[in-house]
Structure formats: C-alpha cells, structure tokens
Amino acid sequence: MKQYPWLTAVVIGMTVLRLVTASQVELVPDEAYYWLWAQHPDFGYYDHPPMVAWWIVTTTFLSDSELFVRLSFVASFLGLSWLMYDAARVLFDEAIARRTVLWLNACLLLSIGSVVATPDPPSVLMWAGGLWALARLLASNKGWWWLAFGLFAGLGVEAKYTNLFLGLGVAAWMMMDKPARRWLLTPWPYLGGLVALAAMAPNLMWNLNHDWATVEKQFGRIGAQDFTLKFLIEFVLSQPLLLNPLIFVFTALGVLAAFQNSESRLKLLVALPLPLFAYLLVHVFHDRIQGNWTAPVFPGLVLLGAVVAEGIEGKGWNRARWLAAPLGIGLSTAVLLFLTLTPKLPGMGGLSEGWNQLNSAITYNQAPGDPQWVASTDYNSHGELSYHSGQPNVSDSYILYAMAERERYPWQGVPPQGLALIVVAADRPLVVGKCFADVRDAGTASRTQKPGKKSSYRLYTGTLKDPACDLAD
C-alpha cells in the first residue's frame, strides 16, 4: 500500500475519524457491561466467550475513558485491512488487494462497527486471520499453514461462538473443491484441529465448570420460538445494506461464478460463509437475526466482490465499481460524524445518553432511611452505573449489587445488608416485593432532560428478604 498514497490516506483518515468518534460517544450499555467483565478477568462469562473483556483489559490499564475502552477495537480494523490485503494479494493480485482494503472501509457494518467495544471486532479479525492462513496455504502449498488456521479458528471461538462455523466452512470447501480434499490424506488439517482445540480450551474448561452456561445460552435460542416468516424479509433486505448494496451485487456475481467453474480460490471464498448462512436461515424462521451476526464473513465477501469487480467489463459495471467506495465511505463518514457531533440521540440511538445524570441522582438521593447500597434490576443499568460510579476504582463509589439475572455476575458474592435503594427501569415490569420487605416509593429519576420509557427509573427502598432471591426468576 506504500506505493498508493491515496489508499493509505483513506485508511489513516477513516482510522482517525473512528478514534475521534470512539472518544466522543459515551458507552452504550453493552459496552459498559463488557467493561465490567474486564474488571473481573476470566476465561468465560454468561453471555459470551472472554476475548472482548481481554481486549478491554489491554488498553484500560492506561485509562477507563471511552477511547481506551474502544481503542483495541478501532485498531483491529488496521489488522483486518492488512490480513485481507495480503490474502487478496497472494490469491489474486495487487489491484484486487487494493480494492479489497478500499471496500472494507466502504462496508457499513465493518467500518462503523469497529468503533464499538463488542465481541464482533475480535470475531471478525480472527475469522479474517483464518481466511488469510488458508490463502497462504493455497498460494504456497505448505501444510504448516493449517496450524496458523487452527490458531485463528480456535481464538475466534474465544471471541464469539459464531466462529465455530469457520471450521464447518472449511469442511464445505473440501466438499465443493476436489483439489482441497487431498489435504485430508495429510496430517496437517488434523494438527490444525488440535491447535484450534488448544486455543479454545480456556473457554471450554470454563463452561465445563459452569454447567455449559454460555453454550446453552447461545445455542439454546434456535427453535426456541414458534415458526414465523416475519423475520425473513428483514434479514434478506438488511444484509445487502450492511455490506454495501453495490458491493453486494459484485459479491452475488462471484457466488454464481464459483458454482460455474472449478476455480479453487473462488470456491474457498464462497464455501467459508455457507454453514453460517445455513444456520441463520434456520434461525430466522423462529427469531430475529441481528444484523451484526454475519459480520465475520463480510471481509471474505468483500474480497469476493473485489475479484469480480476487477474482472468485469461494461459501462454500467464500471460505474457501479467506481461508486461502491464513495457510497460506502461517504455513508460511514456521515454516520461517524453524526455520532461524534450529536451528543443526544433520539429513541434507541440514545442508549448511551445521560448515565452520569442517573448516577448523580442515585448518589445524592435523599431517600428516607439513608440506604446503604443500591440494587440494580437490569443489566443495562447495572453495567452503566458500574462504569459511571467508578467502581471498583473509586473509594467513595456506592455499593452496587445486581438483583436480577444474577448468573451474569458470579463475582458478586453475598448481597449487602441494610436498607437498599432499588433502581427499576420504567418499562420493566418487576414485583420488587418478591425480594424486598418494607418496600417504599423513593421517587423517580431520569437520565435525560425529557423523561421517557427508555430513560426513566422508579426508585424504591427496602430490605432484602432472601440473599438468594432473583427478581428475574
């Protein structure tokens, strides 16, 4: 990329913009929740594998500011760009490699999503690392690249269980591509599998010791709801938009090309995402597919689209090829600038707004009886109040204890004694008297100037009846 300063300028410019956005936007509840994980490092957590917390730990030893919580996630886009550039270069050529990097910045889900501290950027980076190792394998024909693939595949499972489908994608590649099956007669894929197993072992052992809590939560959702068609259209329409509509067109052509010829490189790019999409097409008939679930396969799809774009001719195709980057980068830039310059967002976009205000309202609450501790009743407010109260780093922070979904917080221990100030989201129907005696109304609090269902909280005082009680049960 050194020979193409315009591409370097795009990568650096978008990185700087992401860093600015990351420093200006307050943490959304999920990010605060993962920050709380990082205060209690472990090999697993109730909701996800541990890599998101590990990444936060690596930067927040310097500061707990929003920028440092998100720093490794923003930086991961640079690693993603290099992996995909090199994979495209060794599989195809420099022109396709350059277009791949450019289009990664034009892919809306990846470009904007890397600003947020969630399991997705680690998951995407590890999947891309696995694809890069397979690209090197195809280019060099050296079996030890299976070991690198196994490492990335195993570490990907430490990021998100979605990455289990990467191994299944390799199986699909071997089914589609006869030359790839010859590796089965060598020890390398099996040694790579052992490396993957070793890399994912920490979380497997954690689950073994915690009744497979994370595995059950993540994979117990499939088929949990009744059959429905209402989420299918949403899924089908959202994916091209999140990828970039013009890139999607070229990617779709690449899928057709892979099934029409015997090109191993194209078959690899098409096969890797197939098992994940197959799973999601089963899931979508029972529940909503969140847009970010497909994020790990997007870099490979971008590369597939770039391959087709460089080889197709025609006036219309030339125009689409030229417009794809300005469209995606322009929209990504607009969204990032909007987030940076608009501190108060309406509706669900305002999830990060005003938690300091709520924290102050609780800190200075003059409830009768002088409560000795604060009881949260949902994971959004528990994560945000933990972050904004400075726990566990500030000596004058109040004692906060989660009294709902307590399996999320195994480090909590026994609930505090004495009178509690109980914080209940206005839109959350909970019977506080289930766990607390002598319940009294202590007023309301809001994290926004105009209280609403999503931003208002009811406050109560009460004394705990049973230390094992959980309001969510």
| pLDDT of 148 higher than 80 | yes
Residue 230 confidence (pLDDT): 82
Task: Provide the mean pLDDT of the chain.
Answer: 91
User: Dihedral angle at the C-alpha atoms of 220, 225, 229, 233, nearest 10 degrees?
Assistant: -50
Q: Are 84 and 128 within 8 A, CB to CB?
A: yes
What percent of the chain clears pLDDT 90, i.e. is strictly above it?
75
Q: What is the pLDDT of residues 423-464, one digit of tens each?
A: 999 988 899 999 999 999 999 998 887 777 788 999 999 999
Count of residues making up the chain: 473
Q: pLDDT class for 344, splitting at 50, 70, 90? A: low
What percent of the chain clears pLDDT 70, i.e. is strictly above it?
95
The half-sphere exposure of 137 on its side-chain side, counting CA atoms within 13 A, is 25
**When comparing pLDDT for 87 and 283, which is higher?**
87
| pLDDT of 92 higher than 90 | yes
Q: Are 37 and 206 within 8 A, CB to CB?
A: no
Q: pLDDT class for 367, splitting at 50, 70, 90? A: confident
Q: pLDDT class for 223, splitting at 50, 70, 90? A: low
Residue 221 confidence (pLDDT): 62
Residue whose C-alpha is closest to residue 96's, from 107, 105, 106, 86:
86
Written in H, E and C, the secondary structure of the chain is CCCCHHHHHHHHHHHHHHHHHHHHCCCCHHHHHHHHHHCCCCCCCCCCCCHHHHHHHHHHCCCCCHHHHHHHHHHHHHHHHHHHHHHHHHHCCHHHHHHHHHHHHHCHHHHHHCCCCCCHHHHHHHHHHHHHHHHHHHHHCCCCHHHHHHHHHHHHHHHCHHHHHHHHHHHHHHHHCHHHHHHHHCCHHHHHHHHHHHHHHHHHHHHHCCCCHHHHHHHCCCCCCCCCCCCHHHHHHHHHHHHCHHHHHHHHHHHHHHHHCCCHHHHHHHHCCHHHHHHHHHHCCCCCCCHHHHHHHHHHHHHHHHHHHHHCCCHHHHHHHHHHHHHHHHHHHHHHHHHHHCCCCCHHHHHHCCHHHHHHHHHCCCCCCCCCEEEECCHHHHHHHHHHCCCCCCCCCCCEEECCCHHHCCCCCCCCCCEEEEEEECCCCCCHHHCEEEEEEEEEEECCCCCCCCCEEEEEEEEECCCCCCCCC
Q: pLDDT class for 189, splitting at 50, 70, 90? A: very high
Whole-angstrom Cα distance, residue 20 to residue 9? 16
**When comparing pLDDT for 289 and 203, which is higher?**
203
User: Dihedral angle at the C-alpha atoms of 209, 213, 219, 221, nearest 10 degrees?
Assistant: 170
Residue 267 confidence (pLDDT): 95
Which residues, including other chains, have CB under 8 Å from residue 338's CB and lie 6 or more apart? Answer: none
Q: pLDDT class for 392, splitting at 50, 70, 90? A: very low
Sheet holding 436-446, edge to edge: 400-402, 373-376, 419-425, 456-464, 436-446
Residue 3 confidence (pLDDT): 67
Q: What's the pTM?
A: 0.94
| pLDDT of 394 higher than 80 | no
Give the pLDDT mean for 213-221: 83
* Tokens, residue 357: 């205000």
Q: What are the CA-CA distances from residue 375 to residues 47, 388, 436 (Å)?
A: 21, 15, 10
Whole-angstrom Cα distance, residue 389 to residue 95? 51
**When comparing pLDDT for 179 and 345, which is higher?**
179
Q: What is the pLDDT of residues 410-419, one digit of tens each?
A: 999 899 999 9
Q: pLDDT class for 348, splitting at 50, 70, 90? A: very low
| pLDDT of 12 higher than 90 | yes
Q: What is the pLDDT of residues 241-280, one digit of tens each?
A: 999 999 999 999 999 998 888 788 999 999 999 999 999 9
Q: What is the pLDDT of residues 42-68, one digit of tens each?
A: 999 999 999 999 999 999 998 999 999
Q: pLDDT class for 393, splitting at 50, 70, 90? A: very low
| pLDDT of 32 higher than 50 | yes
